[in-house]
Structure 1
Amino acid sequence: MIISVLAAAVAPGAALLAYFYLKDRYAPEPISMVIRMFLAGALVVFPVMVLQRAVVLAFGENPFLFSFVYSAGVEEFFKWFLLYFLIYKHVEFDEPYDGIVYAVAVSLGFATVENVIYSLLDYKSFSQLLFRAFLPVSGHALFGVVMGFYMGKAKFHTGRPLGLLAVSLAFPVFYHGLYDYILIELKRYWIWLIVPLMVFLWARSLWKVNHANSRSPLRAVYSEDEVKLPT
């Protein structure tokens, strides 16, 4: 039973990571680097949970503060911190889409461990695991797409990237906080707002994936190689 629950808890994160990894059209990232960032996101779960608990005990459980600061603010900052200091200046970060790949890896590492913890401690039914796969886990992936998209823009921006780096943190915090706030405050009618929000995030994320790929400096190189292939 435990093995089945663990497998069901890990599978959504692994599937989503594979999906966004395979969306990289030009020079996919080394799998070892992607796994490393996934593990970095997984390892940060426990210090984040301790910090969140300490903040709640110190300042109370105001729904707005909990959603946008204690939950979204703390979690997205730690993910952003890992991305900036571990990968932003790395030689493997050589095209805009790489920001999305690595941000999604960190986010899904975090989401997968969080999902395993909640599934083991509060398992009620398989439908609960499906709910967590479609909402919390995919939500983390989509927040990661937003973060990575703007971090990729900042990396290859010709001017000063500080504004884009700030946006790469601000937007995920906003979307994550809005997601949490809807679930906390609208206990009876949350689905009427969460579904449109998730549809919007998926649509915007797929647009960001295509846009980031289209801005790759490697695009011209790969196009030339395709032209030179013998017929």
Structure 2
Amino acid sequence: MSSMSAPPRPGGPLPPRGEPGPVREWHDVPRNDPGNGGYGYDVERVDPRAPGRLGGGDLQPVRRRGVWLQRILWGLSILSLIIVSALLYIFVIRPMGVGTSLVAFTAALVPVTIVLLAIWWLDRYTPQPRITLIYAFIWGAAGSVGLTLLFGGFFTAWISPTEPEAITAEFLGAVIQAPVVEEFTKCLGLLALLFWGRRYIGGPIDGVVYAALIAGGFAFTENILYFGRSFHQAQAVGEVAVFWQTFYLRGLLSPFAHVSFTALCGLGLGIAAERRSLMLYFGLGIGGLSLAMVLHALWNGSTFFIEVDPANPMAGFLRYYLTVQVPIFALLGAIAIWLRVREKRILRRQLSEYGRAGWFSPDEVQMFLSMRKRRKAEKWAARHGALARMGMRDLIRATVELGMDRHSILFGKPTAKTRMRERELLERITADRRLIGALSAPVVRDTATTA
């Protein structure tokens, strides 16, 4: 990987430390090393303020799908999921009754809020497009649930003996049908995002975030059904403890159960996407899906093997939960935290390389790496108007995408499409810097400092 040495910076006033200031004219930048395989800093930075003068290198025309066509397909996909959501409400949730539905919906908000807060923390460092985040949640809450209800019965009938006993049918449904069908339909949402483009799932943490959202949406709808059913039972027997026990088990003890299962498939697909390997897509994708099914089966099957003490029915489950499930959840949580730390290291390494090429100052690199400094930079830009703040936010997002994309590209062979993507991001960064510089520059020249 080649690097370009930046020329000396001209003097002049700077904004507060860690915030980007006015863009300056830099000239006499060394040309690219032709021995780097056509990649590296192959956008010739003749003048950072003039995107039209950025050198194109050996870029070839890249066929791109029309923006409007993509938006139409996105709209149709989300519309279809909304229709499925309406059908689920009409035929599945509404028959429970208005009062029961409201109670179940309110109770289901508790675990899904916990899950969404965790996903927000995990995603906020390198945020994904909101439209795809919404799509993932709706797929989990409607698409995967609808497919599970549609095909789950057929799958159970296929694997069941001719005249199964009640306990056998219950076991096959909980330990075989539910893990296989539910995890498969949830992972179809990840495959749909991969179909839309690698930029959505470009690394392990992207796959985990989308998988967690899909699983969180699925668990949200499933919890509504479970809470509604237990509320009906509580009303029938006149004992509210039936409902609170279900809420305690599903809402407080296991909000991350579905998330931890599906996240394994997302992790495998994310690693494959980062490595840009078709073989890894199959190997890690199927491996992650299989492991998700195994953990799901272990969770559901525990109720069939745990000894129940009539005097204290919850004791056996709690012992199993603390000795088996808690360590599994803790391990997966530690992996998620490590992925978050890893992202920061990747950004530091890649943005430092761009900094040595002259694109960013050391203070700017530190600003992009720190969430606190990013917020500080946005507040500084907001003092110059909403447009400046929007430009600063887009500058941060584009820079983060640039660093993460370059890390992924280094695992594979650069292509005309990847070079075009880098060029687009660099031009976007340049345009944002021009906008911020123009809006933050003083209107009246300070004669005292220029005299």
What is the DSSP-based 3-state SS (H/G/I as helix, E as strand, rest coil) of the residue aligned with 1:122?
helix
- Equivalent in the alignment of 2:251: 133
1:55 to 155, 164, 174: 155
- Equivalent in the alignment of 2:187: 80
Superposed counterparts of 1:215-226, under 5 Å: 215-216=342-343, 217-221=346-350, 225-226=364-365
Pairwise CA distance, 1:53: 2.5
Query: How far apart are the structure 1 equivalents of 2:367 and 2:148?
Result: 51
**Corresponding letter in the other structure for 1:101:** V
- Equivalent in the alignment of 2:328: 201
How many residue pairs end up in the alignment? 231
State the TM-score, normalizing by the size of structure 1: 0.85
**Corresponding letter in the other structure for 1:33:** T
Structure 2: gaps of 5 or more residues: 1-98, 235-242, 309-315, 353-361, 374-451
Deviations 1:50-79 (A, max 9, x none): 322333345143566434420101111111
Superposed counterparts of 1:143-222, under 5 Å: 143-157=261-275, 159=277, 160-161=279-280, 162-186=282-306, 188=308, 189-216=316-343, 217-221=346-350
Greater Cα shift, 129-138 or 10-19: 129-138
Structure 1: gaps of 5 or more residues: none
Query: How far apart are the structure 2 equivalents of 1:214 and 1:158?
Result: 22
**Corresponding letter in the other structure for 1:134:** L
Identity, % of aligned positions = 23
**Corresponding letter in the other structure for 1:169:** L
1:116 to 224, 227, 231: 224
2:204 to 96, 120, 127: 96
Matched, 1:106 2:226: no
Pairwise CA distance, 1:214: 4.0
Superposed counterparts of 1:64-79, under 5 Å: 65-79=172-186
Pairwise CA distance, 1:219: 4.8
Highest CA radius of gyration, 1 or 2? 2
2:146 to 46, 53, 73: 46
What is the DSSP-based 3-state SS (H/G/I as helix, E as strand, rest coil) of the residue aligned with 1:156?
helix
Deviations 1:134-190 (A, max 9, x none): 345420011133222222112112543121111120111110011111123325133
Report if the CA contact (8 A) 1:95-1:218 is conserved: no
- Equivalent in the alignment of 1:35: 134
Report if the CA contact (8 A) 1:96-1:153 is conserved: yes
Report if the CA contact (8 A) 1:26-1:219 is conserved: no
Pairwise CA distance, 1:90: 4.0
Pairwise CA distance, 1:104: 0.4
Query: How far apart are the structure 2 equivalents of 1:219 and 1:70?
Result: 45
Report if the CA contact (8 A) 1:67-1:178 is conserved: no
**Corresponding letter in the other structure for 1:56:** T
State the TM-score, normalizing by the size of structure 2: 0.46
Matched, 1:11 2:140: no
Instruction: Report which structure shows greater RCO (CA 8 Å, sep ≥6).
Output: 1
Greater Cα shift, 4-13 or 85-94: 85-94
Deviations 1:177-226 (A, max 9, x none): 11111123325133322332221222111222123234434453567644
Query: How far apart are the structure 2 equivalents of 1:66 and 1:117?
Result: 16
What is the DSSP-based 3-state SS (H/G/I as helix, E as strand, rest coil) of the residue aligned with 2:123?
coil
Query: Higher helix share goes to which structure?
Result: 1
Report if the CA contact (8 A) 2:156-2:172 is conserved: no
**Corresponding letter in the other structure for 1:52:** G
After TM superposition, what 4+ stretches of structure 1 lie above 6 angstroms from structure 2?
none
Query: How far apart are the structure 1 equivalents of 2:334 and 2:351?
Result: 21
Report if the CA contact (8 A) 2:261-2:295 is conserved: yes
Report if the CA contact (8 A) 1:97-1:152 is conserved: yes
Greater Cα shift, 114-123 or 45-54: 45-54
Report if the CA contact (8 A) 1:76-1:172 is conserved: yes
Counterparts in 2 of 1:31 and 1:226: CA distance versus 1, 3 Å: same
Report if the CA contact (8 A) 1:72-1:177 is conserved: yes
2:366 to 211, 224, 227: 227
**Corresponding letter in the other structure for 1:47:** L
